[in-house]
Amino acid sequence: MDPRRHVPRTDAVLADPRLVAAGGRLGRSVVKDAVARAQQRARLGEIGPEQVADAAVAALPSQTASLRAVINATGVLIHTNLGRAPLSPAAVESMAAAAGAADVEFDLQTGARARRGRGALDALTRAVPAAEDVHVVNNNAAALVLAATVLAAGREIVISRGELVEIGDGFRIPDLLVSTGARLREVGTTNRTSYRDYAAAVGPETGCVLKVHPSNFLIEGFTGSAEVSELTALGVPVVADIGSGLLTREPLLPAEPDATTVLEAGADLVTASGDKLLGGPQAGLLLGRRDLVERCRRHPLARALRVDKLTLAALEATLRGPAVPVRQALYADPAALGDRAAALAGALAGAGVDARAVPSEAAVGGGGAPGVRLPSAAVSLPERLAVALRTGEPPVVGRIEGGRLLLDLRTVPGDRDGDVARAILEASG
């Protein structure tokens, strides 16, 4: 008799209580696909007909979405390819609370429509008192597009040649600005631009002067640039793109610009990211003069760039809540990191794994604080374990250096050391 006749029917397999429960969590189509694959394996003789339900359960994904949570052991605090800033527990909790119906544009007291995201905007205003008004869009590029469109569409943006930067994935600031309908008036040279260069370029066609912080590279040697405080004398709006999202000075990163200092120096508008050194969700921040922020808020493009309720909830919790993971990693004690690395490497070596505790250097990442190296500690492993760790559960992503795989603990929360150890033992087996 053909063994395929014994393969159970789809409806019979779907009636398995485990698959019924999975359907409520993952959706019926996902579960049905897993059953179909298990039935096909039985038809090919890879498994017995009685194993179809078990095989379908084993093949189910842990979640519906394909994105997987990973342990960042690269030593890059804000890793763009790993989603930039990890959110704080407070931000995650706030997003969950806002996931259903929420009063994002509704006043529960009056029953009338209210200002969208007023809690997040109030928190941002309190965090940067130097800003007369604030607005939030979906990322920093959007903030810059909106400002350029409002101030300079059909007019000129005066910008230093040394600030026509390219960032990740081929994204170029000049291409973004030209897409708004503005014309670029380039001044100065790659390494030196003075106030006189700007002054000679400003005229009736000038919409704004733009200062872009070259956050992902350094130019050293014979260099010079005009300060925001100088440019305010030009009589046109000065926009400063600081990039990394610092709202106030950070002693560990003295060369990194912050919104408060730049506004106090006279900038009319500041744009920044929410998901870098601020440590929040992906968002673009616009801060500065009330009239200019209001023009940006009222422009039709603002509707296309607005953020959703989950971003607003996470941003407010980031601004009001406890220290975010990025800040915790930035201020991690190198000695404590060394102790963690030694304990982890010792336990692994005792289990027969070629593991060593070694000094390491971490980086800020995310285009912020180039050249800054943070003393750290890592567990050094054979390079061959890299793939197994990346594809394991949970995935652990490190970096290859000197023919060894380094797992830098500055970017690994202390309560995840056990998970890292189990992942290494599994990959080594």
Residues 270 and 408 reside in one and the same domain: no
Residues 274 and 399 reside in one and the same domain: no
Residues 175 and 100 reside in one and the same domain: yes
Residues 29 and 97 reside in one and the same domain: no
Residue 183: Cβ-neighbour burial (10 angstroms; 0-12, 13-18, 19+): middle
Residues 192 and 249 reside in one and the same domain: yes
Q: What is the 3-state secondary structure (H, E, C) of the chain?
A: CCHHHHCCCHHHHHCCHHHHHHHHHHCHHHHHHHHHHHHHHHHCCCCCHHHHHHHHHHHCCCCCCCCCCCEECCCEEEEHHHCECCCCHHHHHHHHHHCCCCCCCECCCCCCECCCCHHHHHHHHHHCCCCCEEEEECCHHHHHHHHHHHHHCCCEEEEEHHHCCECHHHCEHHHHHHCCCCEEEEECCCCECCHHHHHHHCCCCEEEEEEECCCCCCCCCCCECCCHHHHHHHCCCEEEEEECCCCCCCCCCCCCCCHHHHHHCCCCEEEEECCCCCCCCCCEEEEECHHHHHHHHHCHHHHHHCCCHHHHHHHHHHHHCCCCHHHHHHCCCHHHHHHHHHHHHHHHHHCCCCCEEEEEEEEEECCECCCCCEEEEEEEEECCHHHHHHCCCCCEECEEECCEEEEEHHHCCHHHHHHHHHHHHHHHC
Residues 289 and 224 reside in one and the same domain: yes
Residues 152 and 267 reside in one and the same domain: yes
Question: Which CATH number goes with the domain that contains 229?
Answer: 3.40.640.10
pLDDT tens digits, residue range 186-233?
999 888 899 999 999 999 999 999 999 876 666 667 778 889 999 999
DSSP bridge partners of 356:
380
Distance CA 385, CA 399 (A): 11
Residues 122 and 212 reside in one and the same domain: yes
The last residue of a domain, from among 322, 355, 384: 322
Q: Is residue 349 part of a domain?
A: yes
Q: Is residue 412 part of a domain?
A: yes
The last residue of a domain, from among 299, 322, 345: 322
Residues 231 and 357 reside in one and the same domain: no
Question: Which CATH number goes with the domain that contains 349?
Answer: 3.90.1150.180
Range of the domain at 75: 71-81+328-428
Residues 270 and 383 reside in one and the same domain: no
Residues 196 and 313 reside in one and the same domain: yes
Residues 309 and 279 reside in one and the same domain: yes
Q: Which tokens in the block code for residue 32?
A: 């049905």
The last residue of a domain, from among 267, 289, 322: 322
Q: Is residue 66 part of a domain?
A: no
Q: How many domains, the chain?
A: 3
Q: Is residue 64 part of a domain?
A: no
Say what the pLDDT of residue 166 is. 76
Q: Is residue 65 part of a domain?
A: no
Q: Which tokens in the block code for residue 340?
A: 């963690």
Say what the pLDDT of residue 218 is. 64
Q: Is residue 194 part of a domain?
A: yes
Q: Is residue 397 part of a domain?
A: yes
- Give the residue ranges of the chain where pLDDT is below 50: none
Q: In which residue are the tokens 């000038």 written? A: 206
Say what the pLDDT of residue 191 is. 86
